[in-house]
Amino acid sequence: MRLLAAALAALALAAPAVASEQRPTASELESELVCPVCETTLDTSNAPVAVAMKAFIRERIEAGDTKSEIKAKLVADFGPAVLAVPPRKGFDWIAWLLPLGGLAVAAVAVGALAWRWSRERGEEPAPEPLDPELERRLDDELERYE
């Protein structure tokens, strides 16, 4: 039963992804590509090369190109730095795995330090007894305020 539910969920989520690949929108692609001049996403750039790339994207969408085809043509023209998100293959996997590894190391370090700190605190020592004369004076003073 769980397997069937998982398969149905995967199909429900796959349909929009396939539609996005086959019929991309200009705004979708512009947010996934970077201007080679100002190094911001195309949707925020007004550099002349960014304007030309936006026009190219619209032409290719009207021609019926898929998202992958449009991206491949822009990568061929401008290099892989035009992609806002590095591909998940080869050496580029480091860009995905390094931050996750850093987070894991930081979590282990914080956990170890917290455990060590909680073990070092231990019980507080008992307070030293007061001098009998000082204790008598304190009792006398407290009686005056009662």
Q: Give per-residue pLDDT as tens, 90-127.
A: 766 777 778 888 999 999 999 999 988 887 766 667 77
Question: From the CA atom positions of the chain, what is the Rg in Å?
Answer: 32
Q: Give per-residue pLDDT as tens, 16-66.
A: 444 467 788 888 998 999 999 898 998 898 999 999 999 999 999 999 999
Do 8 and 18 form a contact (C-beta atoms < 8 A)? Answer: no
Mean pLDDT of the region 116-143? 82
**pTM for the whole thing?**
0.52
Q: Give per-residue pLDDT as tens, 55-67.
A: 999 999 999 999 9
